Amino acid sequence: MVEPDRVERYRTRMQRKKAIIDEAIARADREKGLLLILTGSGKGKSSSAFGMLARALGHGMRVGVAQFIKGRSDTGEEAFFSKQNNVIWHVLGEGFTWDTQSLERDTETAQRGWIIVQKMLCDPSINLIVLDELTYPLKFGWLDITSVLNDLKNRPSMQHVVITGRGAPDALCEIADTVTEMADIKHAFRAGIQAQKGIDL
């Protein structure tokens, strides 16, 4: 049996916690379209973004996805989401930059891609946009950060945008509402395990 004073202490602690949480929830009474950044070198950035995509679709929202670095064409997320109603799916990148090895070509591809993104960022009927691996075109200078920031700032007020990729520039994090950095504590790849279906692709 648990001692009565431990039971009482637990109850008091939980009551205090509940009061603090309730107060914080009551304080957060505004609504707005959010800009979220998922960065860092640990696994989980793109898959978290696609989790939010699923949530939004569950609520009947319209979503758009733009993939800036085309790593592979056999991912489960593309096979699944691109077939759903209410999903616009754009593959804008050609491949890893270490495959193309041409600054000019990568720059042209990214800029052509951004024109497509600009159209989505002007369309209030798209409720959530995932810009997957957008940090790389910014990092390598294929896109002008100032104009990207302007387009993001001027989007419809209730539109959510999720940006993924390692090394998110500070200027991008500054205008974001939520920034999460995934830490790489351990990854199976380094133990010689290849990318697994359903987990990595």
Binding site for Mg ion (CB under 5 A): 45-46
Task: Kindly state the smallest distance separating residue 171's Cβ from ligand ATP, in Å.
Answer: 21
What does the radius of gyration of the chain's CA atoms come to, in whole angstroms? 20
Residues that bind ligand ATP (CB under 6 A): 41-47, 164, 166, 182, 184, 187, 189, 195, 200-201
Contacted by 52, from Mg ion, ligand ATP, none: CB < 5 to 8 Å by type: none
Residue pair 33/161 in contact by the 8 Å Cβ criterion: yes
From ligand ATP, Mg ion, none, interface partner of 47 (C-beta below 5 to 8 A by class)? ligand ATP
The DSSP element (H or E) to which 150 belongs, if any, is helix 145-153
| Measured distance CA(197)–CA(88) in Å, rounded | 23
Pairing mode, strands 35-39 and 128-132: unpaired
Nearer to ligand ATP, 6 or 186 (CB): 186
Q: Which is nearer to ligand ATP, 117 or 162 (CB)?
A: 162
Q: Give the relative orientation of helices 103-120 and 145-153 as an angle to the nearest 10 degrees.
A: 10
- Which of Mg ion, ligand ATP, none does residue 195 bind (CB under 5 to 8 Å by kind)? ligand ATP
